[in-house]
C-alpha cells in the first residue's frame, strides 16, 4: 500500500506496513565486520584487507560503478604510521609521570629519535585563538620550541555567554589544540583530561601510543597527548600553583600564561609508510552532473596487548559496523530504484585517527566538490527499538536542516537538538571535513542515546561486539527515513 505526501509541490510516496530493508542482511553485515577474523579493522593491516574485500564484494553485487581515476573502488590514502616507545621516565619539574596512568603520549613527527631535555612547559588556558569570539590565549606569548598544556573543550562549556555555550565549537576539540600549537611553532601539546568536558573517560585515550597521519611530507608535533586530571593537579602543586584557581582564571579570561617548569624525556618512534584506502563507488542517477554522498567509516581500533599477555580485539560492531551496513543496504535499494542525482557511496578509512580518510577525500576529490550537493554520514546507529525522534547535530545554519524537519514531519518524528553538544560529536565524524569545505552535510548518530550504557561500558572497548538479539527496529525505521531524505535531496 502507498501513502502519498506533497512537500514543496513535489509528490513523494512511501510504503506503509512494509520496508525496503531486511534485518537479516543488516545482522549479517555487522556480524561479519565485527568478527574476530577482521581483527578490529585497523588501517594498513590484515583487518583492512578483509574489510575492503568484503565491501568490494558487496559493491560488485549491485549496479555500483567505480569512479574514474580510482583503482576500482579504492582511493589510496597515503599514511604514515608512528608508534612511540617511551624510554625511561617522563619528567616535568621533577614530577615523574607514568604512561597510561598519568600521561598518554604519541608523536606526529617523522623523526625516529626523541630527546627532550629541560623543554619549557607553559599552561595556556584553553589554547584557543578565535577572533570571532574575542578570545586569544596566545596573545603576546611565544611558544616556539615549548610544550603547551591546555584545558579540554572551550570556554562555553563553563560559561553560556562564551562561544556557543554548551554547544562545543571546533576550538574545543583536541585536534584543533594540536593544530594551533603546531602552527605557532610548539614542540608539543598536552590536553588536560576531564571526563565531562571531554565527553569520555581517560581510559579512551590513556593507551594511545601510536598515531596515523596523512603522509604529506610535512612534520608534526614531537609529542602530543593527554594529562590525567590527577597528574595535572600534582604538576601545578609541584610548581607552587593551584590547578583549580588557574582553571577558573582561564575561564574568566583573567589568567596569564603559567610556566610549569620543564619537561625531559626520551622516546623512539617506529615509522612506517603505506596506503590505506577509501572505498568509493556511485549509482548513476538521472542528473549525472551532481552527486549526493552517503558515507560511513569502515575502520576501528584494531587490537591491543592486554595485561595477561594476549590481545584484545576492538571489534567496532556499533562503531561503525552499523553505519557500513546502512550504506550497503541503502546502496542496494537505490541500485534497484534509480535516484534523481548520482548517489556516491563512500566508506572512509582512519576516521578513528582524526577523520583522515574523509580529509584526504575532500583535499583530493575524485569528483569536483562543487558537484556534491549534499552529504549524509552514518556513525553508530540505533540497534534497539524504533524512536519517535531524530537527533540533529550541529548549528541550525546547516542548509539541510529545513529538509530534515520536513522529512521528520512526513515520518511523524520530532527533530531534537543534540543534548550532548558539549561533547563535540558534530566534529568527530566524517561529515565534518565536508562541512569545512562548504558542502552541506548531516550526521546521523545514536551514540549513547537509545542505550546510555553503550558509552560507559562498550564505546571503544572490545565489548563493542555484535549481538544476535539486537532488535534493529530502530535501524530499520532510520533507514526508511534516510531513504526518503535521499529521494527528496
16-57: pLDDT as tens digits: 446 789 999 999 999 999 999 999 999 999 999 999 999 999
CA dihedral of residues 211, 217, 219, 220 (deg, nearest 10): -40
Shortest CA distance to 333 belongs to which of 390, 325, 70? 325
In the chain the first and final C-alpha atoms are separated, in Å, by 24
**Residues 6 or more apart from 260 whose CB is under 8 A from it?**
92, 93, 121, 122, 123, 149, 235, 236, 239, 241
DSSP-derived secondary structure letter, 209: -
> How many C-beta neighbours within 10 Å does residue 332 have?
20
Note the pLDDT of residue 2.
47
Contact (CB, 8 A) for 442 and 404: yes
Among 67-71, 188-192, 232-236, 331-335, the minimum mean pLDDT is found in: 67-71
Grid coordinates of 343: 548517489
Shortest CA distance to 448 belongs to which of 417, 425, 482? 425
Exposed/middle/buried for residue 394 (C-beta within 10 Å: 0-12, 13-18, 19+)? buried
pLDDT over 80 at 291, yes or no: yes
Where do the H-state alpha helices sit in 162-209? 174-183, 195-198
Residue 200: its H or E element: none
Note the pLDDT of residue 16.
42
What are the residue ranges spanned by the domains of the chain? 2-65+284-488, 81-271
Shortest CA distance to 291 belongs to which of 443, 479, 67, 483? 67
What pTM value is reported for the model? 0.88
Among 219-228, 244-253, 299-308, 381-390, the minimum mean pLDDT is found in: 299-308
| HSE-CB for 400 with a 13 A CA cutoff | 24
Note the pLDDT of residue 461.
92
User: How does the average pLDDT of the chain come out, rounded?
Assistant: 93
**b/e 134-155 (16+ beta carbons within 10 angstroms → b):** ebebbeeeebeebbbbbbbbbb
pLDDT over 90 at 305, yes or no: no
Contact (CB, 8 A) for 93 and 261: yes
Note the pLDDT of residue 15.
41
**CATH code of the domain occupying 81-271:** 3.50.30
pLDDT over 80 at 3, yes or no: no
Shortest CA distance to 14 belongs to which of 483, 486, 489? 483
Note the pLDDT of residue 8.
53
Q: What percent of the chain has pLDDT over 90?
A: 85
**CATH code of the domain occupying 2-65+284-488:** 3.40.630.10
Mean pLDDT of 106-131: 96
pLDDT over 70 at 9, yes or no: no
Contact (CB, 8 A) for 380 and 322: yes
Mean pLDDT of 132-147: 96
pLDDT over 50 at 1, yes or no: no
Grid coordinates of 406: 520536513
Within this chain, domains 2-65+284-488 and 81-271 share the same CATH topology = no
DSSP assignments along 50-71, one per residue: HHHHHHHHHHHTTT-BPPTTSB
> How many C-beta neighbours within 10 Å does residue 204 have?
19
Contact (CB, 8 A) for 318 and 383: yes
Note the pLDDT of residue 210.
86
Mean pLDDT of 304-320: 91
Contact (CB, 8 A) for 271 and 81: yes
pLDDT digit string (tens) for 425-455? 999 999 999 999 999 999 999 998 999 999 8
What sign results for the dihedral spanned by CA atoms 406, 407, 411, 415?
negative
**What SS3 class is residue 74?**
strand
What sign results for the dihedral spanned by CA atoms 204, 218, 264, 271?
positive
Instruction: In whole angstroms, give the CA distance from residue 281 to residue 63.
Output: 10
DSSP assignments along 377-393, one per residue: EEES---SS--SEEEE-
Instruction: In whole angstroms, give the CA distance from residue 259 to residue 298.
Output: 42
Amino acid at each position: 500500500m502507498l501513502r502519498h505526501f506533497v512537500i514543496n509541490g513535489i509528490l513523494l510516496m512511501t510504503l506503509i506496513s512494509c520496508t525496503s530493508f531486511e534485518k537479516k542482511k543488516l545482522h549479517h553485515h555487522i556480524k561479519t565486520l565485527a568478527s574476530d577474523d577482521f581483527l578490529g579493522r585497523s588501517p594498513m593491516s590484515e583487518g583492512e584487507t578483509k574489510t575492503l574485500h568484503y565491501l568490494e564484494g558487496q559493491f560488485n553485487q549491485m549496479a555500483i560503478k567505480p569512479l574514474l581515476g580510482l583503482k576500482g573502488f579504492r582511493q589510496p590514502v597515503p599514511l604514515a604510521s608512528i608508534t612511540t616507545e617511551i624510554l625511561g621516565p617522563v619528567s616535568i619539574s621533577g614530577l615523574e609521570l607514568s604512561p597510561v596512568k598519568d600521561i598518554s603520549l604519541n608523536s606526529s613527527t617523522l623523526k625516529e629519535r626523541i630527546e627532550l631535555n629541560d623543554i619549557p612547559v607553559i599552561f595556556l588556558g584553553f589554547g584557543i585563538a578565535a577572533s570571532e569570539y574575542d578570545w586569544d590565549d596566545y596573545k603576546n606569548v611565544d611558544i616556539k620550541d615549548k610544550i603547551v598544556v591546555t584545558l579540554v573543550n572551550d570556554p562555553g562549556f563553563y560559561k553560556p555567554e562564551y562561544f556557543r555555550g554548551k554547544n562545543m565549537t571546533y576550538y574545543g576539540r583536541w585536534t584543533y589544540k594540536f593544530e594551533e600549537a603546531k602552527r605557532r611553532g610548539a614542540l608539543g601539546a598536552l590536553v588536560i583530561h576531564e571526563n565531562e568536558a571531554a565527553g569520555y573517560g581517560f581510559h579512551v585515550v590513556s593507551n594511545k601510543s601510536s598515531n596515523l597521519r596523512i603522509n604529506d611530507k610535512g612534520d608534526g608535533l614531537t609529542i602530543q597527548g593527554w594529562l590525567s586530571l590527577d597528574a595535572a593537579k600534582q604538576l601545578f602543586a609541584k610548581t607552587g600553583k593551584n590547578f583549580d584557581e588557574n582553571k577558573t582564571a582561564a575561564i574568566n579570561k583573567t589568567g596569564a600564561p603559567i610556566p610549569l617548569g620543564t619537561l625531559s624525556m626520551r622516546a623512539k618512534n617506529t615509522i612506517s609508510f603505506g596506503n590505506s584506502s577509501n572505498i568509493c563507488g556511485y549509482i548513476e542517477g538521472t542528473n549525472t552532473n551532481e552527486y549526493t554522498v552517503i558515507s560511513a567509516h569502515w575502520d576501528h581500533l584494531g587490537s591491543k596487548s592486554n595485561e595477561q599477555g594476549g590481545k584484545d580485539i576492538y571489534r567496532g560492531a556499533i562503531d561503525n559496523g552499523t553505519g557500513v551496513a546502512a550504506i550497503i543496504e541503502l546502496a542496494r535499494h537505490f541500485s534497484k530504484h534509480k535516484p534523481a542525482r548520482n548517489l556516491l557511496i563512500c566508506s572512509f578509512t582512519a576516521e578513528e585517527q582524526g577523520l583522515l580518510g574523509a580529509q584526504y577525500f575532500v583535499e583530493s576529490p575524485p569528483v569536483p566538490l562543487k558537484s556534491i550537493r549534499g552529504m549524509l554520514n552514518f556513525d553508530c546507529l540505533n540497534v534497539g527499538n524504533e524512536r519517535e525522534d531524530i537527533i540533529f547535530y550541529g548549528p541550525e545554519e546547516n542548509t539541510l536542516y529545513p529538509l530534515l524537519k520536513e522529512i521528520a514531519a512526513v515520518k511523524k518524528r520530532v527533530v531534537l537538538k543534540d543534548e550532548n553538544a558539549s561533547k563535540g560529536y558534530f566534529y568527530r565524524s566524517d561529515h565534518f571535513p565536508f562541512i569545512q569545505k562548504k558542502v552541506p552535510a548531516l550526521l546521523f548518530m545514536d551514540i549513547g542515546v537509545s542505550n546510555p550504557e553503550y558509552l560507559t561500558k562498550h564505546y571503544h572497548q572490545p565489548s563493542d561486539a555484535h549481538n544476535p538479539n539486537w532488535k534493529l527496529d530502530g535501524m530499520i525505521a532510520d533507514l526508511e527515513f534516510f531513504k526518503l531524505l535521499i529521494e527528496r535531496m
